[in-house]
Chain A
Amino acid sequence: MHIMDSERTYIAHSHSVEDTQRLAASLVRYVQAQDVVLLDGDLGAGKTHFVQGIAHAMGIHDEVTSPTFTILLSYPGIDHNGASLTLNHFDLYRLDDPADLDDIGYWETLEGPGVSFIEWGHKFASCLPFDYLDISIDVIGEDDRVFTICACGDRARRLLAAWAQDEEARLTPSTSKNVR
C-alpha cells in the first residue's frame, strides 16, 4: 500500500460547470494509457461534469452520463496528439461488494490501453489502483467548487507535475499540509 504523497498538493477553483470542464480539458494534454484518476466528492459536486470535460477534450461526442447502474462505460476517444485513447468512466457508488468488480474486468480495464476516471474510487481499499491522481471536489457555494489534487505513485506524480505547469489549469500549490 502506498502512502499518500503529502509533499505536493494542488488546489484549483471553479465557479461554474464551464470552469470545471476547462480544468478537465487541460488535464487531457498530459494523460496517457493506464493513467487512473480518482474523483471524490458529494453527490452533485461535479464529478460527472469533470469527466464530461475530459470526454469533450478527447473528441468524444457521445453523451457522457454517470455509469451509476452499469458501473463502467467506455468510449473510444483520442489523446492530445490525435492518437486513439479509450476513456473509461467508472462509478462505484452503487457497488456493494468489491468482488463484483471482477465481473466487469476492473483490473483488466485499468491496466489496458485507456485512461480511467473512477467516481467514488476510495469506496473500497482493495480497489485502489497502485498509481493514481487523486481529485477531491468540495462544494463551497452554489456554483463554487474547490478541487484538491494530489498524486499517489511515480507516474501520477509526473502527471501532476506536468499538469501543474499548465497555465490554463491554474493549479496552485496548497499552503496547508495535505489533510486527507
Chain B
Amino acid sequence: MNQNSTRDIVVSFDTANEYIALGIGTLDASTHTITCLDTVEVAAHRASNTKLLPTLDACLKRNAIEHDRIACVVCGRGPGSFTGVRICIATAKGMASALEVPLIGVSTLDAIAWYLWNNNTRGQALVLADAMRHEVYPVSYRLTDEGITRLDTDIVRGVQDEADHLAEGSSLIIAGDALKKYGELFAPFGTFAPDTLWMPHGEGLLLAAQAAWRDGTADPFDTLRHDPAFLLPIYTRLSDAEEHERTRLAQPSPRDLRSGVQLQGTHQDACADSEQLIFRPLSASSGDSVAALETELMGSDAWNQQMICDELPRKDRTWWAAYDGSSQHLIAYAGGWIVDGQMQLLKIACVPAWRRQGIARTLLGRIASDARDLGASTMTLEVRRSNEGARAFYTALGCEFQGYRPGYYSDGEDAAIMSGPLPVDDHDVAGMELLFDCGGEQGAEDPHRPLVLAIESSCDETAAAIIDGDGDLLSDTVASQIDFHARFGGVVPEIASRKHIEAICGVTQVCLERAAARLKRSSLRWRDLDAVAVTYTPGLVGALVVGVAFAKAAAWACEIPVIGVNHLEGHLFANKIAQPGIEPPLVASLVSGGHTMLVYVREWGSYEVLGSTLDDAVGEAFDKVAKALGLGYPGGPIISQLAAQGNPKAIHFPRAMMHSGDYSFSLSGLKTAVISYIHQTEQKGEDLCLPDIAASFQAAVIDVQVSKAAHAIEQTHVNEFCLGGGVAANPALRAAYERMCKSRGVRLTLPPVSACTDNAAMIALVGLDRYRQQRYASLDLDAQAHCDLSDPY
C-alpha cells in the first residue's frame, strides 16, 4: 500500500435491521465536514454477512477509491437484531484493525433521525425500530434547522406499552421499520414519515458521524481514541439465558429447572477462580446473608432482607455477589440500577477480611457489564464525605466529584456525589483468561512465506494463530469464555457471540504481537500477512459469524485472500502437531461437545464420514450427566477425575448400538439410563456413589467408542489411527485406544491435550494447506451451522 497517499475517505455501514445501508464520503478536517459521495441500500434478510463486503467493494470500485484512501470506518451499533448488529461491528472491527484506522460507532436510530432531518423533516419525531417479539426500540428526537437532539436513551419496550404512553395527535412524526408491523396501532399518535425514510441510510450514518465530529465526541483521524477493540453493540437487554437466570434467582429457593434433577448438597454452578472466589449473580437465597452483612457494615443505613429480595426480580437492576469457594460463604456484593443510560450504584460491600484483593473492582466490573448491555454508558454513586479511601477508589476509576448531598446518611453525614464512565473491564479480551503458546525462539529476520493468520470462533473460545511457510506456528492465542458459561451448565449461544465480539480485536492483536516477538521484529502488521483463514463451519452460527465477518473484512482491507476452514478438518490436522509425518490413509475419531464421528481419511482433503451420533455428542453426554449429579460444568474433566476413583463395573449401563454393525452412535439412551439410576437410588433412600456412577458411565461410553473404532480399522485396513476433539483429552479414553491399537499393530497418534480442544493452530494448518492449493473463499463466505465433512469445499 502506498504510505504517502492522502487518507480522506470515510466508509460507513449499518446492518442492524436485515437491511444494508452504506455510505461513503470525504472528510474535510478544516471544517469538520463529511461530504457524501455515494450510498447504497440493499435488503438483506439474514444475508448481511454475504452481501455487505461485496456491496461495499463494488461501491468503492465504482468510485475508483483505493483502500489506502480510507481514513476512518463508521458503523451502526444498533439497537436492532443482535446478529445483524454483530455482523456490522465484526466487519467494521476487522476492516479498521487491518487498515489501522479509527472505528467510530453511531446509533442506528440516530442515523434514521438524521436521514429524516436531511429530507427536511422538522419538529418532534419518534423513531420506532422493530425489536421483534412484540417489542420496539423507541427514541424521541427534536429536529430543528440546526440538527437533531435526542430526547431519550436506548431502551426496549413492549409495543402496547409504547402506544399507551403516547398522546393522540398528528404533530409527532413517526418513522422506523416497526411501522410495517404495527402501523395501525401507532396511526392515532402522529403522522408517518414516507416509508422510504424508515430505514437507516448512508447519508444518515455520515451525518451522525459528522455531528459527533463537530460536538467533539468523535474524531475520524484519532486512531488511539477510536481503537476498534473498544466499540461494542447496543443491546438494551441481557441474553435470554441471563434474564431467565435472574427470574429464577429471585425465587426464595432456586431450583434447577433445566435438568429436572435436583440433588441435595452443594451445587457448584460456577467455577472457582484461582483465588478460590466464585462470582455469580446474587440470588434471593443469599438475601439473609446480605442483610446480615448490611447490618454489620452499614449501621442504620442497612437494607433488610425484604428490601434486597424486592430488588432482585426487577429488570432494570443488576446484582452480583462473590463467595468464598471453599466455604460458599458470601463475602461481597454489589448492585446497580440502570436509569436513563446511567447506572446508579446502589450498594457495594465486602467483608473486611477479604478487602484489598480487588474483589470490589471485579464485582463492579460485572454489574457494569450488565448495565452496559442494558443501555447504560455512565455511572453515578454516593459515598460518605469522610470516606477518603472509597473516594480515591472511584477517582481511580475515572469518576469525578459532582457535589455534596447534605445530610444524606441517617447519621447526618453528607454524601459526596461522584460520576464517571461505566467501569467495565476494558481489558482487550473482555476479562477472559488469555493463554498463549509460541514455542521456542526463532531468529530469522525475514519470515518464511506465506504468513497465514487463522481465527477460530465456532463455540466458546476466541482463538487466533499465525503459521509460516515452514508450517511452524509463530503464535497461538486463545481466550476462553468458560467462566462465563459455567453457571449455566453449558455454552449459551448469545453469551458466546457477545464475548467473541468483545475479544476478537484483543486476541488477534496479541497474536500478532507474539508472532512479532518470535520473529524478533518490532511489530507484525495485518498488511505483512499473506492470507487470513477462518473457521466457517460447523458450530454456533452466531459465534462463527463474528470470526467470519472479522476475517473477511481484514483480508479485504489488506487485499489478501480469505480462506474458509471446516472446523472438523482442523481437528484432523491437529494430529500433524504431534506427528508431523502422519500420512493417510487413516481412521480418525472426532469426539467433542458437538461431534461424535468416525472419519476415514483417504488423503488430506478427502474424507468419508463412516458414521456419527444419531443424537447427543459424547461431550454433551458428559456435561448432562455431570449436571444431573450436581457436579458443575464442564462435565468431561469432572467425570473423568471422579471416574479414576470408581469401579467401572459397579453399575451396568447400556452400550447402545455396540453391535449394530455400522458406525452410528447413540448416547441419549445412556444419559437417560444414568439419570433414571440416580432417581431410583434416591427413591430407595440409598446413597449415591458418585465415583462408581462416573466410572461406569465413562466405561460404557469408551467401550462403544473403542469397539467401533476397532471395527473401522479392520474394515478399512489402515495402519494409522488418530483422535481429535475435546473429549480426546480424556485419559481413560486415551489409555483404551492405546491398548486397542497396540494389540492390532496400528500406529496411534494422540494430539497434545492443548491441541484437542478448540484452537486456531489447527485452523492455521488447514489454512496453509489450502493457501498452497489456492483454494480461497470469496467475500460472500458465510457461517454455516452444519456441514458434512465428506463434501469437499
Q: How far is the CB of A63 from chain B (nearest CB, A)?
A: 15
Interface contact tally, CB-CB below 8 A: 60
**Stretch of B238-246, B370-378, B646-654 on the interface side:** B238-246
Is A96 in contact with chain B by the CB < 8 A criterion?
A: yes
**Stretch of A36-44, A47-55, A103-111, A166-174 on the interface side:** A103-111
Closest chain A residue, CB of each to CB of B241: A99
Q: Which of B240, B258, B615 has the most CB of A within 10 A?
A: B240
Q: How far is the CB of A156 from chain B (nearest CB, A)?
A: 14
Assembled-state Cα–Cα distance A97/B81 (Å): 21
Assembled-state Cα–Cα distance A130/B160 (Å): 13
- Chain B residues positioned under 8 Å from A69 (CB to CB): 786
Is A142 in contact with chain B by the CB < 8 A criterion?
A: no
Is B46 in contact with chain A by the CB < 8 A criterion?
A: yes
Q: How far is the CB of B627 from chain A (nearest CB, A)?
A: 10
A111 and B132 within 8 A (CB): yes
Chain A residue total in the interface (Cβ 8 A): 22
Is A70 in contact with chain B by the CB < 8 A criterion?
A: yes
Closest chain A residue, CB of each to CB of B258: A97
B493 and A100 within 8 A (CB): yes
Q: How far is the CB of A104 from chain B (nearest CB, A)?
A: 7
Assembled-state Cα–Cα distance A69/B785 (Å): 11
Residue interface mask A98-126, B partner, CB < 8 A = 1: 11111111011111110000000000001
- Chain A residues positioned under 8 Å from B258 (CB to CB): 96-97
Sorting the interface of chain B by its residue count into under 10, 10 to 19, 20 to 34 or 35 or more gives 20 to 34
Is B76 in contact with chain A by the CB < 8 A criterion?
A: no
- Chain B residues positioned under 8 Å from A113 (CB to CB): 45
- Chain A residues with CB under 8 Å of chain B are 69-70, 94, 96-105, 107-113, 126, 130
- Chain A residues positioned under 8 Å from B107 (CB to CB): none
Assembled-state Cα–Cα distance A69/B616 (Å): 10
Residue interface mask B125-139, A partner, CB < 8 A = 1: 000001011100000
A105 and B46 within 8 A (CB): yes
Closest chain B residue, CB of each to CB of A96: B258
Taking CB atoms and an 8 Å cut-off, the chain B residues in 1-51 that contact chain A are 18, 45-46
B785 and A108 within 8 A (CB): no
Assembled-state Cα–Cα distance A142/B46 (Å): 41
- Chain A residues positioned under 8 Å from B493 (CB to CB): 99-100, 102-103
Taking CB atoms and an 8 Å cut-off, the chain B residues in 480-515 that contact chain A are 488, 490, 492-494, 497
Q: Which of A99, A100, A107 has the most CB of B within 10 A?
A: A99
Is B540 in contact with chain A by the CB < 8 A criterion?
A: yes
- Chain B residues positioned under 8 Å from A107 (CB to CB): 132-133
B542 and A103 within 8 A (CB): yes
> A102-B494, A105-B542 provided; 4 other pairs, C-beta below 8 A?
A99-B239, A102-B82, A103-B785, A130-B133
B494 and A103 within 8 A (CB): yes
In the complex, the 4 A-B pairs of residues with the closest C-beta atoms, listed nearest first: A103-B493, A99-B241, A107-B132, A102-B494
B494 and A99 within 8 A (CB): yes
- Chain B residues with CB under 8 Å of chain A are 18, 45-46, 81-83, 130, 132-134, 181, 239-241, 244, 258, 488, 490, 492-494, 497, 540-543, 615, 785-786
What are 14 sample pairs from A and B whose C-beta atoms fall under 8 A apart? A70-B785, A99-B239, A99-B240, A99-B241, A99-B244, A99-B494, A100-B493, A102-B240, A103-B541, A104-B785, A105-B542, A108-B81, A111-B181, A130-B133
- Chain A residues positioned under 8 Å from B615 (CB to CB): 94
Closest chain A residue, CB of each to CB of B131: A107
A103 and B132 within 8 A (CB): no
B18 and A108 within 8 A (CB): yes
- Chain B residues positioned under 8 Å from A101 (CB to CB): 240
Assembled-state Cα–Cα distance A130/B182 (Å): 13
Q: Which of B46, B239, B492 has the most CB of A within 10 A?
A: B46
- Chain A residues positioned under 8 Å from B240 (CB to CB): 98-99, 101-102, 126
Assembled-state Cα–Cα distance A75/B241 (Å): 29
Set B133, B134, B541, B786: member contacting A105, Cβ < 8 A: B541
Assembled-state Cα–Cα distance A111/B17 (Å): 12
B542 and A112 within 8 A (CB): no
- Chain B residues positioned under 8 Å from A126 (CB to CB): 240, 244
Q: How far is the CB of B554 from chain A (nearest CB, A)?
A: 24
Assembled-state Cα–Cα distance A96/B493 (Å): 13
Set B45, B132, B133, B492: member contacting A99, Cβ < 8 A: B492
A105 and B45 within 8 A (CB): no
Closest chain B residue, CB of each to CB of A104: B541
Closest chain A residue, CB of each to CB of B495: A99
Assembled-state Cα–Cα distance A130/B135 (Å): 11
B490 and A108 within 8 A (CB): no
- Chain B residues positioned under 8 Å from A104 (CB to CB): 541, 785
- Chain B residues positioned under 8 Å from A97 (CB to CB): 241, 258, 490
Q: How far is the CB of B592 from chain A (nearest CB, A)?
A: 16
- Chain B residues positioned under 8 Å from A111 (CB to CB): 130, 132, 181
Assembled-state Cα–Cα distance A3/B240 (Å): 23
Q: How far is the CB of A112 from chain B (nearest CB, A)?
A: 5
Assembled-state Cα–Cα distance A102/B258 (Å): 17
Given A99-B240, A99-B244, A112–B494 Cβ distance below 8 Å?
A: no
- Chain B residues positioned under 8 Å from A110 (CB to CB): 132
- Chain A residues positioned under 8 Å from B46 (CB to CB): 105, 108-109, 112
- Chain B residues positioned under 8 Å from A109 (CB to CB): 46
Assembled-state Cα–Cα distance A100/B240 (Å): 9
Q: How far is the CB of B247 from chain A (nearest CB, A)?
A: 10
Closest chain B residue, CB of each to CB of A71: B785
- Chain A residues positioned under 8 Å from B497 (CB to CB): 103
Q: How far is the CB of A2 from chain B (nearest CB, A)?
A: 10
Assembled-state Cα–Cα distance A98/B497 (Å): 16
B239 and A102 within 8 A (CB): yes
B490 and A105 within 8 A (CB): no
- Chain A residues positioned under 8 Å from B130 (CB to CB): 111
B785 and A102 within 8 A (CB): no
Assembled-state Cα–Cα distance A105/B785 (Å): 12
- Chain A residues positioned under 8 Å from B542 (CB to CB): 102-103, 105
Assembled-state Cα–Cα distance A96/B256 (Å): 13
- Chain A residues positioned under 8 Å from B83 (CB to CB): 105, 108
Q: Which of B45, B488, B786 has the most CB of A within 10 A?
A: B45
Assembled-state Cα–Cα distance A99/B495 (Å): 10
